[in-house]
Amino acid sequence: MALLTIPAEDRTLADSEGIAAYLAGCGIDYERWIPAHPIAIDASAEQILEAYSGEIDKLKAHGGYVAADVIDVSAETPGLEEMLARFNREHWHDEDEVRFIISGHGLFHIHPKGGPVVAIEVEAGDLIRVPRGTWHWFNLCSDRRIRAIRLFQDTAGWTPHYTDSGVDEKFLPVCFGVSHLVA
Ligand SMILES: [Fe+2]
């Protein structure tokens, strides 16, 4: 289950419907794909894409996405810090950032035009779509692990453009989800 916080309003949302409604107001799509398809822990990327082919096809038809793959990141990933450093500063892309989380956790900060920054923690079963042009940044949580399906309209468009606003430095890249408190 995702967790959404709005630091400027000292507000936290932990119910899927409330999170989806709030994010929709920021132009962000959020969904829970429940029930998740059973996937073995050691499933290959091909097996994951096959298990979720129905949902992927729907997203492709809806959002004009042409390709899907699976990103798999852990503390053992070579060059992890360099990779994360590309995306942990406020930026935007020329295409949508679409992620369906298979395992692990991630923390998206979204900076809507004219609205307060919101932090959304995502985990298995969460789909998030950050439309092109949206200011955002991304961190891993303490488990340093995320496996997610990505969808692309055009892989060439997925380069970060940095805002250099400095806003990202005002927010701690810390996850507060229940799964971390009990871990
Ligand atoms: Fe991004």
pLDDT in tens, 83-118: 999 999 999 999 999 999 999 999 999 999 999 999
What is the CA(50)–ligand 1 centre distance, in A? Answer: 25
CA of 84 to the centre of ligand 1 (A): 10
CA of 37 to the centre of ligand 1 (A): 26
- 14 C-alpha to ligand 1 centroid (Å): 23
Q: How far is the CA of 52 from the centre of ligand 1 (A)?
A: 23
- Is the pLDDT at 9 greater than 70? The verdict is yes
Q: Is the pLDDT of residue 128 over 80?
A: yes
Give DSSP secondary structure letters for 30-87: EEE--SPPP--TT--HHHHHHHTHHHHHHHHHHHT--EEEEEEE-TTSTTHHHHHHHH
Question: CA 72, CA 30: separation in Å to the nearest integer?
Answer: 21
Give distance in angstroms: CA of 103 to centre of ligand 1.
19
**Cα 99–Cα 104–Cα 109 angle in degrees, nearest 5:** 55
Q: Is residue 145 packed enough to be buried (19+ CB in 10 Å), middle (13-18) or exposed (0-12)?
A: middle
Instruction: Kindly report, residue by residue over 46-71, the tens digit of the pLDDT.
Output: 999 999 999 999 999 989 899 999 99
Distance, in Å, from the CA atom of 4 to the CA atom of 130, rounded to the nearest integer, reads 15
DSSP-derived secondary structure letter, 124: T
